[in-house]
Amino acid sequence: MTDFDRQPGAIDDPGTKGGVDPDQRTLPPGDTAGNTGTEGEPEAADLDLPGPDDPVAWGYVQPGTDVVGREGVKLGKVDAMLGTESEGIFHGIAIDPSNGGPVRVIPADLVTSLTPSEVHVLVSTEEVASLEEYRAAG
């Protein structure tokens, strides 16, 4: 018998029957980052996202996120996260105060926690007006 007499596939893999593709996935579901398991289980992209109360890096906080002060009172909303993207350095938060007025800057050393749903800071309601005004670079 020559290679020309064999069924397709036999030349490439003599251990399989001719014409039958070998099983390419010999490992169980969940063996790779993109394969999370069986139907109904979360996709890999769902597993990578933080929950609303999970601590996150400053780059995950979006404008419009609530800023909560030292007394547990909402001070305003995030206008911008201030930092150096290329170096990953967090400088602080530009806050749009709830009681109106110009956007203010809360320095990074006064920020106690960052989550996708809230930013907690060591600033009281009365101290917001005395914070430095935010001037966008440009």
- pLDDT digits over 68-104, tens only? 999 999 999 999 999 988 888 999 999 999 989 999 9
3 and 33 in a single domain? The answer is yes
What pLDDT digit, counting tens, does each position of 18-62 carry? 555 555 666 665 566 556 566 766 665 656 678 888 899 998 899
Is the residue at 8 inside a domain? Answer: yes
Which position has the higher pLDDT, 138 or 54?
Answer: 54
67 and 122 in a single domain? The answer is yes
Specify the number of domains making up the chain. Answer: 2
Using alpha carbons, select from 116, 112, 113 the residue that is nearest to residue 50: 116
44 and 74 in a single domain? The answer is no
Is the residue at 136 inside a domain? Answer: no
d(CA 60, CA 118): 11
C-alpha dihedral sign at 47, 52, 56, 61: positive
30 and 71 in a single domain? The answer is no
Q: Which domain holds residue 16?
A: 1-49
Residue 134's identity, in one-letter code, is Y
Is the residue at 10 inside a domain? Answer: yes
Assess whether pLDDT exceeds 90 at residue 4.
no
69 and 109 in a single domain? The answer is yes
Of 30, 49, 68, which closes a domain? Answer: 49
Is the residue at 138 inside a domain? Answer: no
pLDDT of residue 74: 96
Is the residue at 109 inside a domain? Answer: yes
Is the residue at 125 inside a domain? Answer: yes
- Which whole-number Å values give the CA distances from 4 to 1, 20, 57, 91, 128, in the listed order? 8, 17, 62, 71, 84
75 and 115 in a single domain? The answer is yes
Where residue 86 sits, what CATH number does that domain have?
2.30.30.240
Is the residue at 92 inside a domain? Answer: yes
